[in-house]
Amino acid sequence: MPFSVLFVYALTIFGTVIGPLSPYTAFLAYVMLGILKPDKLWFGMVEPSNYSRCIAIGMLVGWILRGFGNWNLGRTWGIILALLGFLLWAHIGGLIAPNQFVAYEYLDVMTKIIIPCFMALTLIDSVAKLQQLAWVIVISVGYVAWHENEVYFSGNFLDRDNVIAHTMAMGVSLAFFLGLYSKHLWQKIIAYTCAGVMVHGVLIHESRGAMLGVLVMGILTFILMGKKPVHYWMFLLGLLAAIIMAGQGVQERFTTIFASEENRDASAESRLMFWAGMWRGIKANPVFGVGPDHWHLVSERYGLPPHREGHNLWIQVAAEHGFPGIICLVTFYLLTLKRLWPIARQKVKAADPWIGLLACTVFATICGYMTEAIFGSFRTLEVAYYVGILGAGTVLMQERLSDATTTAPEYSPEWAQGLSGQAITAMPRPFV
């Protein structure tokens, strides 16, 4: 039996069994499967099945046994209610959607993403759990990137995939920060390796949107990270490596994003046409939209080629769910950024060094994602929601620890002083 099959079965069994005992651990297994998508990653070896559903059931049982988690979410309530509001409005739209089967398939996927995220947020009660989620995201996305690089260098790389490219882009900042501040050398090696293969994976897929997202993350990472010489050197080395890996062809393709009207390629020009068509759809259906996952069914009605996605997440969500839907989804991300900003910019003292670190990297990642989402319609990209919950959990733990330590002695976290690159050690219950 191939290793991939054994791994998927083992992870499924582990997550299902551990769920009633430790629902958050089951959530981590759920996240890993959601990012890896084993039936697609190992196509032909791993058969499609209800792997994630089994883990979700175990997690649900454990969540119920623990009294449905801790609902004292403080300022995080606004973030999670926006996400739940988006799901609720999507279901309302699904009830009146012209094609019930298509709506159900989409809503089934979104429910499987958002509800476990809410459950996980009620289970986060330590900074260590935030670290665990960050590492699971990095390792999972890193393996996807490693696989794409392996296929590329084997000579069997046949097609570019924007969804995979944007998935890999989402992990770059997280991996870089974990590499910079992790305690052990082997952790640094894993994190930096993941960051490297993620960047190269984005480049080989030649996704201009994903490349722009990585660029935005890189700029914000540099602004928010410490400013000791080692930080400059590590950032410079990463930048040089990215430029070298890109090559002339990729660089030329990326620059077409900023091309003038007469110099745009067909792909860039078609995006503007799609966006205009979706805007016509929004004006015609401003409240409920055209229906969940329905744009490809109605695109021809608004002057576009049939059965085509809109190539812009934000406009397409507005077209499919109406203004209430897009307002909820955008609020989920923007409110997370607003809550993280004071911590990331050191305007508020981080209650724990790792909270400061995670605030910086999640802020950069979400900004990069919101930028790259202008060029893609990946509404069911799981890793984006998991990073959002990581940000919400960071806000939550900042609030809880600040309330618990208001009378504690003052201390200056190492990350805020501009580390020389050494590990942050002042953290409760380290991940390893």
Q: What is the pTM of this model?
A: 0.87
Whether the predicted pLDDT of 413 surpasses 50: no
- The DSSP annotation for 216-263 comes to HHHHHHHHHS--SHHHHHHHHHHHHHHHHHHHHHHHHHHHGGG--GGG
Whether the predicted pLDDT of 421 surpasses 80: no
**Region 22-46: what's the mean pLDDT?**
92
- Candidate from 93-102, 221-230, 352-361 with smallest mean pLDDT: 221-230
Please state, in angstroms and rounded to a whole number, the distance separating the CA atoms of residues 323 and 271. Answer: 21
Domain boundaries, the chain: 1-68, 71-417
**Region 90-95: what's the mean pLDDT?**
95
Average pLDDT over the chain, rounded to an integer: 85
Q: What is the dihedral angle through the alpha carbons of 348, 399, 130, 144, rounded to the nearest 10 degrees?
A: -70
32 CB-contact burial (10 Å; exposed 0-12 / middle 13-18 / buried 19+): buried
Are 246 and 207 in contact, with CB atoms under 8 Å apart?
no
247-260 pLDDT tens trace: 555 555 555 554 44
Whether the predicted pLDDT of 268 surpasses 60: no
77 CB-contact burial (10 Å; exposed 0-12 / middle 13-18 / buried 19+): middle
The number of C-alpha atoms within 13 Å of 184 and in the hemisphere containing its C-beta is: 6
CA angle 25, 26, 32 (to 5 degrees): 95
Indicate the pLDDT class of residue 229, thresholds 50, 70 and 90.
Answer: low
